[in-house]
Each structure stands twice: as C-alpha cells, then as structure tokens.
A = this chain, B = another copy of it.
Amino acid sequence: MDALPYAEPSPGLPLDALSALLAPRSVAVIGASGDASRIGGRPIAAMLERGYQGRILPVNPNRPEIQGLRAYASIAELPEAPDAAIIAVPAASAEQATRELAERGTKAAIMFTAGFAELGEAGAEAQARLLEIARRHGMRLLGPNSLGLFNTANGFYGTFTSSLERGYPNSGPIGIASQSGAYGMHLFSMARDEGMGISCSVTTGNEADLNVGDLIGWMAQDPGTEVIAAYSEGIRDAGSFLAALDLARRNRKPVVMMKVGRSEVGSAAARSHTASIAGDDAVTDAVLAEFGVVRARTTEELLDVARLAVRKVYPAGNTLGVLTVSGGAGVLISDAAEAAGLPMPPMPEDAQAVLRRDLPFCAPANPVDCTAQVLNDLSLVTRFGHSLIRDGGYGSILLFFTHAGGAPSITPRLREELRGLRAAYPDRLLVLSVLADPPQIREFEEDGFTVFADPSRAVAAIHAMGRFGDAFAADRPAPPPALPGFGLPATTPSEAEAKRILARAGIEAAPERACARADEAVAAAEALGFPVVLKILSPDILHKSEIGGVLLGVSDAAAVRDGFALLLQRAASAAPDARIEGVLVAKQLSGGVECILGVHRDPVFGPVAMFGLGGIFVEVLKDVSFRRCPFGEPEAEAMIRSIRGAPLLLGARGRPVADVPALARMLSRLSVFAHQAGPRLAGIDLNPVFAMPEGQGAFAADAVIDIAEDAA
C-alpha cells in the first residue's frame, strides 16, 4: 500500500518557486519588529522558538538589532538575495518593498499587507501593479492579505497568526492549503487541538499570483505531506487546480476539500470576500468528484477524513464490517452507512455459524453484535475480529466498544486483544469507537487504531477512505476520440443547421425536413408518417415555444397546411424582423423518455455538460448531473445513472428500459464537440432528447447551438 514513486508533475505548477517559499534557505522580514506581539515581530519570534534552519534577515531602517538578530536598514543592504521575503509593512509602502525585493532577485514573497483587491477597484489596481512588478522579475507572490504559512519540517514560520499563542503543531503528514487566512488557521488550530500532525499550512489570501491549486500541487510532491486538506471560496485558475489534483491522485495522496459558497447567501458572501470568483457549485462538485477529491461539508468532517487518511489505507470497493457491544449502536451505524452509500454485506453463513457456536446469543450477520458478554471474555474480541476480517473480507472494520473500551477494568486487556488483531492485518483499515480518557485514546492511536467517540463520524470518514481507494485504483479515463470534420458556424445557426452540424458529430436528431412551402411540408409529413411536429424555422428565433412556434401531434395533410400558415403568422407577429426560412417538419417520436442534454461554459472550468430528465425533473427538482468536457461514454453513462430519476430510464415499475448506451454516446459526443468548439461556443441545448427503448437509439427533437458574438 506504499505510495508509488512520485509521478512526473504536470507542467504549469510553480514547484521550484514554492520550494523557495516553503523551505527557504533565507528569509528577509520587511517591517521587522522587536516586539514579538506585532505583525512584523511574530514570525521572527516563532522561527527563533521553533529553530528555523535558514537565515533570518530582519529589515528595519531604525534598529540595528531585532530580537537578537542583526537587522538591515534596507532591502538594498541585505547581504544576499533571500529565497523568501515576508512583507509586513503598511499598504502605502508595500509596492516599493515588492519592487526592491523583486529587483534584488528574491524568489518568492509572502505579503501580509492588506488593503488591496478585497477593498474594491482602487485596491484591485494596486494589486495588479504588485503582480506586474513580481512577474517582470520572476518573483512569485503569496497574498497580498495573506496570514502566511508555516512548515514544521524546517521550522519556517512565515505567519503572524495568533493561533500559535496556544501552541505549535506536532510535525506530521497533513498539509493544509487555504485561501482564507482566518479559516485556514481555524482548521489548523482544530487539527492541533486534536493532536494531529501537520507538515505545512499555507493561506493564499487575495491570490494575486499563487493560489490554492498551486499549493495543493506542491504538497502533492512534497515527501513530508501525505494527506492534503484544502479550503477555498472559489477556484480562480482551472489549470493549476486540475494539474494539482491530477498529480495528487497519481501520487496516491488523498485530497479532502471544503469549497464553501454552496448556498445562495453563501455564494453572495463569497463574491464579496477576498474578491473571490465563486464558480457554480454543482460544477465544483463534479470537478472534485472527477479527481477523487472528497468534499467535506464541515470543518469537523474535513479533519476526520484527514485524521483517518494518515493511516494510508484506502480500500477500493470499500465495504464495512462492524463489531459492536451494543445492538443499538449497530443499528445506528447501519443507518449511517446506508446514508453514506457504504455497503455492509452480511458475513458468510458458515462463519456466522461458527460465531454463533462461540457465543450463542450473538447476532453474527453484520453488524456483528457480540453483546456485553464479550466484556467478560475479551478473547472473543480477537476471535470475532479475526472472523470479520478473514471470513467477512471487509475493506474496513469498525469496532464499537463505547465507554466499556475506556473503563479501567477493561481497557488494558482490550488493548492487548486489539494489538494482536492489528498486527495480524496491517493493511486493513481498523477504526475504534470508544469513550476513554485522552491517554488511553493516545495508546489506541499509537497501536494503529484511529479512534472516534461518535460512530457516525467514524462511518463518514471510513466511507471517504473507500472513495480515495476507488480514485487511486481507477485507470485514468481514456480521452475520447476527436470528431472528424468539425466546424462551427460564424453565428448562431438555425435549428435545422444546428442539427446538421451535430449530425456530422454523430449526434442524431429525429427525422425531419426543412420546408420552405406548405406543399413541401405536406409531402414531407406524408413521407415521415403522421403524426408530425411542425416548428418555425429561423436563425433569429432561438426559443420557438415562447412565441407559439411549435405544433405537436399534427395528424393529417390539412392540419399540416393549416399549421404551416399559423406558424408563419405567429412568427411575423412576434418577431417581425426575423429571417423566416420556412417550417421544419419532424417525425413525432413516441414511447421514449424525454431528456435534456446541454453544455454551458463555466467561467473557470470551460465547457461543462449537463444531463437530466425532461420537464419538471430539471425545472423543479434540479435533478441533473454535470461533467467537465470532454469525456468518454463510460463517464457519460455514469452521469446518466447518477441522477435520482435514473430508474425511469432503467425500467422502473414495468417501464421499458431506455437505450442508455445510445444516450451515453450522444452525451459523450456532445462533450467532445463542445471541447473542440473552443470559447466561441457559448452553449448547446438539446431539449428534448428522446431516449427510445433499448436498441432503438436516442434522438434530439430540438437543438440550439449558441455562438458567443463577442468571443475572439
């Protein structure tokens, strides 16, 4: 289960600059203070206390010595170009300091100074100037408005957070990357209070240059970091973020992330905070899922997942076996596992029989309830535990001993039994739920068990380990083949033209004919077979149904003739300037399931495909799934199967099974089309698409391709 040798990082991640930032051989502190409680004094005091292994170079025009260190009057007087610099001067002086540092050849600067983009337009302009200066000289910038960072491996504490007043973290494998300073340090403080081991913690603030994605990428190849915990209010740069997640997955490093701004209120707050751009939340969900990132909803959940992940046991195809001294807890755990989607298959029948022989009144299925009887004969823990792991074959085992596990009359002997179990199966995920005093909990943890007081929290964390395992085990999906003969028109095409363009990409529409005259329409309807659908045909009318431009169930020649006239009349009155090319006559499909396939351009992640069922499923229930374009048919099918209403396509309640493979093929091709189309494509709507019964295909009954007028 060891990590493979590290993968080649994708280009575009600024790993060298980040090494200078996180492990500098020297650090200049601009605005250094002799007062350890001040913003320019705290990092120096912390580095001195934690034995920072590099050189600290305080810069202060008024004092020759700062906290016992030789100070320099100006950046120019520094004895060397420092790897890193901390800028802790007021906003008015920050630009000059930045320029001098950059000119001096500093590799990376941490800017504590606030008063930039978070304060509006003038601040944003000042921030842009900082970035321009840094870029010109090849210096990288963390912040401005950053609380800084620390690295426990080398004692580098480039931060002024007050969270260190209550103690420094244990060194350990968890790296924290947070956009928000206060919240990043909240995360860190909770982690420290729980005794978790931290490798480094970085807050990116306004992200003028370096962002959370860059930091995740650095941690993904940092030998000291094995688990990455991240927090963001909005991703600014898809490139570094996706490269970082990809590298972390290839290096088998789990990433657990909070991305806030889910709610309407939350999104509004996120836009005003740190001048952030909050992407659409459902898209974020889809992107995180694509890379096997576990999205945590609460700080506690994020820390639980990180705490368990440091065991480095990530069972693909995870299942849960439960050993409990309480039937009630067994039920509770079963509920939590089902809600999480973590399977709890029963023990094999023969193993159950053996357990029943060992302990007549146990419930041996799963949860395995060994009853309080086990507390009188603790050797049963070993026997039952062996059976669960060996016979049950579960990826993860949760052992619930509650307060009994912490009772002084029981703990020492229980510990002995559990150590044996741990030693016998070093590669299994073994989690304890006990209530005990902190020293006993530490002992269990040292023995290799992660301990949770609340079994529901244990279940959620265990489930996350399986999701990591699945992501690490999966092959990277093969890129779908490019579409031949691809072309995008100069402007938004008519429906008929849109369908022709899509047909060349293999996306089929219902059989139809464009008819300029009524008698052509009658002939077309007779050729296609009644009933037909009539639709006004104009490149200038995108939303036909809004002007009454669609007639369904037209059932004979006379009705076609009447309908043709009616549509032209409606178009003329609703859109007098529209170019009218005639009427589209299409075969009316029946017996299919109505779906919606679409693409929109996410401002961060580019084209994103959507799948949903028609009508109220999308409009009222928002029962849709998303995925970044392009993707292949297996991913498309997974999208289709993931919506709540999927049973409607899969034969629920005696319905015919729909042609899901054809639908997946259409969705995948749509994603490739959107990807190849580039930024001129604003969006595509295929609404409705009829998924016909098995083997009979899927057909778009309407198609809109929206070309961005102002795209380059």
Contacts from A to B (Cβ < 8 Å): 37, 118-119, 161-163, 165-166, 178-186, 189-190, 193, 231, 233, 258, 260-266, 268-270, 272-274, 297-300, 325-332, 334-339, 344, 361, 363, 367, 369, 372, 375, 402-404, 406-410, 435-437, 453-457, 616, 619-621, 644-645, 647-648, 652-653
| Residue from B264, B338, B455 in contact with A262 in the complex, judged by beta carbons closer than 8 Å | B338
Whole-angstrom distance between the alpha carbons of A335 and B268 in the complex?
A: 11
Q: A328–B454 contact, CB under 8 A?
A: no
> Once bound together, how far apart are the Cα atoms of A260 and B336, in whole Å?
10
Q: Which residues of B contact A329 (CB under 8 A)?
A: 180, 182-183, 186
Q: Do A165 and B331 touch (CB < 8 A)?
A: no
With A299-B456, A339-B263, A620-B645 already in contact, the answer to whether A269 and B166 are too (CB < 8 A) is no
Q: Is the interface of A mostly helix, strand, loop or mixed?
A: helix
Cβ contacts under 8 Å, A454 to chain B: 190, 298-300
Residues of B within 8 A of A456 (CB): 297-300
**Chain B residues with CB under 8 A of A339:** 262-263, 297
Which 8 pairs, one residue from A and one from B, show the smallest C-beta to C-beta distance?
A: A180-B328, A182-B326, A263-B338, A273-B327, A183-B328, A163-B403, A298-B456, A189-B403
B190 and A325 contact, CB distance less than 8 A:
no
A336 contacts which of B165, B166, B182, B298 (Cβ < 8 Å)?
B298
Query: In the complex, how many angstroms separate the beta carbon of A257 from the nearest chain B beta carbon?
Result: 13
Distance to closest chain B CB from A108 (angstroms)? 23
With A190-B435, A653-B620 given, is the CB distance from A330 to B407 under 8 Å?
no
Known: A162-B375, A299-B455, A647-B620. A269 touches B408 (CB 8 A): no
CB closest residue in chain B, given A269: B331
Are the C-beta atoms of B231 and A335 separated by less than 8 Å? no
Whether A190 contacts B261 by the Cβ 8 Å rule is no
Number of copies: 2
Beyond the given A182-B329, A189-B435, A262-B338, please list 16 additional residue pairs across the A-B interface where CB-CB is below 8 A.
A162-B375, A162-B410, A166-B407, A166-B436, A180-B328, A182-B327, A182-B372, A260-B331, A265-B334, A266-B335, A272-B327, A297-B335, A298-B454, A300-B456, A616-B645, A620-B644
Cβ contact of A367, chosen from B258, B269, B619, cutoff 8 A:
B269
Given A260-B331, A403-B163, do A338 and B265 touch, yes or no (CB 8 Å)? yes
Cβ A193 vs Cβ B435 within 8 A:
yes
Please name all residues of chain B whose beta carbon is closer than 8 Å to the beta carbon of A162 when the two chains form the complex.
375, 403-404, 407, 409-410
Interchain Cβ contacts under 8 Å between A and B, 18 examples: A163-B403, A166-B408, A180-B326, A180-B327, A181-B326, A181-B372, A182-B326, A182-B329, A189-B403, A190-B435, A260-B331, A263-B335, A266-B338, A269-B331, A273-B327, A273-B363, A298-B336, A619-B652
Is the Cβ of B231 less than 8 Å from the Cβ of A328? yes
Min C-beta distance of A680 to chain B, whole Å = 30
**Closest chain B residue to A646, Cβ basis:** B620
Are B269 and A327 in contact (CB-based, < 8 A)? yes
Least Cβ distance of A327 to chain B in Å?
Answer: 3
A266–B435 CB distance below 8 A = no
B270 touches A331 (CB 8 A): yes
Give the CA-CA distance A274 to B329 in the complex, in Å: 12
A331→B621 contact, CB < 8 A: no
Contact A402 B263 (CB under 8 A): no
Report the separation of the CA atoms of residues A298 and B165 in the bound assembly, to the nearest whole angstrom.
Answer: 33
Of A182, A272, A329, A337, most B-chain CB atoms within 10 Å: A182
The reply to whether A273 and B186 form a contact with Cβ atoms under 8 Å apart is no
* B residues near A620, Cβ cutoff 8 Å: 644-645, 647-648, 652-653
CA distance A254 to B344 in the complex (A): 35
**Chain B neighbourhood of A453, CB < 8 A:** 190, 193, 300
A233→B165 contact, CB < 8 A: no
- Residues of the B chain whose Cβ atoms lie less than 8 Å from the Cβ of A266: 331-332, 334-335, 338
A689 to B622, CA, bound (A): 25
For A264, what are the chain B residues with a Cβ–Cβ distance below 8 Å? 338
- Of the residues B118, B261, B330, B435, contact of A335 by C-beta under 8 Å: B261
A300 touches B186 (CB 8 A): no
**Docked CA distance A165–B404 (Å):** 9
- The listed residue (B182, B269, B297) touching A334 by CB distance below 8 A is B269
Task: Give the distance in Å from the alpha carbon of A231 to the alpha carbon of B327 in the complex.
Answer: 13
Closest to A123 in B: B361
Alpha-carbon separation in the docked complex, A119 to B356 (Å): 13
- Distance in angstroms between the alpha carbons of A430 and B338 in the assembled complex: 35
Instruction: Please give me the residue from chain B that is nearest to A330 by CB atom.
Output: B269
> Which residues of chain B are within 8 angstroms of A410 by Cβ–Cβ distance?
162
**Given A180-B326, A298-B457, A300-B456, A261-B408 contact (CB < 8 Å):** no
